Amino acid sequence: MTTTKNFRSLAVGLTAAAVLAAGVGVAHADVIGGAPAGGAETLTAATRSGWEGVTREQVRIDFGKGWVTNAELTYPSSATGRLPLVVFLHGSGRNDMNQTLPDGKGSTFVPLAQAASREGYATLRFNKRGVTDVGPVESTDPAQLMPKNPYQQIQLDAASVVRFAARTSKVDPAKIFLLGHSEGTNVAANLAADPKRFGIPKPAGVVEMGVVGKPIKDLLTFQIYGRLLTQMHDEFDIDGDGQLTAVEATDGLVGQPKEIADQFRSVLLDGKKVRPGTDRNHDGRIAIDAEAGPVLRKATHIDDYPNVPGLDPYVVAYAKDLGRFPTVTQALPKFAGPTLLLNGENDIQTPARAAIVADAAVAAAGNKDHKLVIYPGMAHTMNITPKFTPVFGEPDRQVITEIQGWLKSHR
């Protein structure tokens, strides 16, 4: 018998991947305010870490409502005059300024900030509201961890960062670029679509990684429910007829992690035969969509959205609030500046098809400076990894090179 518990554990794991929750911290400041903090040893550390020739200033930005966040402004140490700047906007969850990845897998933003520095850009990375330090380390203040209208507050906080950047003497306020990952793509698109509303200068360009091109309900439905059907079509249904024999179901379990194999087995197999409770017409085969689909819908409780059992209360509140705002596909066409959209073909958090549709909408609005790149073999954190059992990792070198080249051409 299929149990809700079995499939909630799988679904929550996917949601956690989308949320990019806390991980292990990385080494921090090597050069502060342009002066070496520890002589030759510090410069050697900077060389090893990729920050050689870059000044890193620790700054604080007032977000209002009782929260002043820690941030880091970087710029080439030899630079003079005002510089173009990249503001980094995180994926969902309580992320630090580096978007430190779980399990010691590095970070999303550090290699990108270093690449921007090599092209003469300043960069600004910041801890999200409720995050006190790299790690990430979270506050104990519930008002900061769970603010009212959480996505709207994330937008307002990002606007505070842009305004701070525009007032900084090292920064050209007419050349502020927004680089967002996952949730950050939606934030960047919302800010760029209506900068006057947020009290910020018009961005000089927008870079989007893992594009939130569909409504949050659609994305979470796919993460929790739809991707299970997709996996059966992709990895189990060898002859492509949309139905699974006992042999196909058995073979599809080979090589799967035990927990996932057990979960699929509970829907598909009873010993060496297909499961009678799923095979409703008793033809000895399971129709993936028509027969396995209803079992999975019931098991995952996806029809109770957003109140899906097992979802963190913050995620539920966040999803409700995010649903009030335009997606990238709806917002970004209102921005006439340069756009670069990047997505992994294997992304099961923000599927590549949504990025393709978003870019088409930008083109249809008449934007002549837009580019879309879909990377084979990459998933949500823009690293090469299996599609249905993704492993966190820093952005692949080809992604970093693409962004660095795009920044160079738009400096």
Is the C-alpha dihedral spanning 247, 252, 258, 262 positive or negative? negative
Q: C-alpha dihedral over 262, 267, 273, 274, to 10 degrees?
A: -150
How many angstroms separate the Cα of 188 from the Cα of each of 200, 255, 273?
12, 39, 51
Model confidence band, residue 352 (pLDDT cutoffs 50, 70, 90):
very high
Cut 0.85: pTM above it: yes
What's the average model confidence in pLDDT over 307-322?
Answer: 93
Chain-wide mean pLDDT for the chain? Answer: 89
pLDDT at 60 over 50: yes
Instruction: Work out the angle between the directed axes of helices 246-253 and 258-268 (0-180°, nearest 10).
Output: 170
Which tokens is 245 given?
A: 């024999």
pLDDT score, position 42: 38
Strands 137-138 and 286-287: unpaired
What's the average model confidence in pLDDT over 273-299?
Answer: 97
Q: Which of 82, 353, 336 is nearest to 206 (CA)?
A: 336
Strand boundaries in 165-204, DSSP class E = 171-181
Q: In this structure, are residues 30 and 45 in contact, taking their beta carbons and an 8 Å threshold?
A: yes
pLDDT at 331 over 90: yes
pLDDT in tens, 157-195: 999 999 999 999 999 999 999 999 999 999 999 999 999
Question: Which H helix or E strand runs over 31?
Answer: strand 31-32
pLDDT at 138 over 70: yes
pLDDT at 223 over 60: yes
Which tokens is 122 given?
A: 């300043």
Round to whole Å and give the CA distance between 248 and 382. Answer: 31
Q: In this structure, are residues 249 and 233 in contact, taking their beta carbons and an 8 Å threshold?
A: no
pLDDT at 154 over 90: yes
Round to whole Å and give the CA distance between 15 and 323. Answer: 16
C-beta atoms surrounding 48 within 10 Å:
11
pLDDT in tens, 270-280: 999 999 999 99
Architecture of the domain defined by 53-211+336-409: 3-Layer(aba) Sandwich (3.40)
pLDDT score, position 48: 56
What is the percent of the chain where pLDDT is above 70?
88
Round to whole Å and give the CA distance between 385 and 172. Answer: 38
pLDDT at 43 over 90: no
C-beta atoms surrounding 285 within 10 Å:
18
Place of tokens 């800010």: 191
pLDDT in tens, 393-406: 999 999 999 999 99
Q: Which long-range contacts (CB under 8 A, 24 or more apart) does 9-14 make?
A: 9/259, 9/263, 9/310, 10/228, 10/259, 10/260, 10/263, 11/223, 11/224, 11/225, 11/300, 11/308, 11/310, 12/310, 12/311, 14/223, 14/224, 14/227, 14/348, 14/349
Q: Which of 370, 360, 362, 400 is nearest to 383 (CA)?
A: 400
The values of phi and psi at residue 347, to 5°, are -70, 120
* Of 335 and 16, the one with more pLDDT: 335
Three-class secondary structure of residue 203 per DSSP = coil
Q: Which residues pair with 69 in a beta bridge?
A: 61
pLDDT at 14 over 70: no
Read off the amino acid at residue 132. Answer: T
pLDDT at 13 over 80: no
Burial class (CB in 10 A: 0-12, 13-18, 19+), 79: middle
pLDDT at 18 over 60: no
Q: Which of 156, 182, 177 is nearest to 15 (CA)?
A: 182
Model confidence band, residue 41 (pLDDT cutoffs 50, 70, 90):
very low
pLDDT score, position 23: 25
Count the residues in the chain: 411
Round to whole Å and give the CA distance between 199 and 114. Answer: 28
What's the average model confidence in pLDDT over 63-72?
Answer: 98
Domain boundaries, the chain: 1-24+216-322, 53-211+336-409
pLDDT score, position 49: 81
pLDDT in tens, 362-391: 999 999 999 999 999 999 999 999 999 999
pLDDT at 65 over 50: yes
Q: In this structure, are residues 396 and 330 in contact, taking their beta carbons and an 8 Å threshold?
A: no
pLDDT at 32 over 60: no
What's the average model confidence in pLDDT over 103-108?
Answer: 94
Question: Which H helix or E strand runs over 164?
Answer: helix 150-167
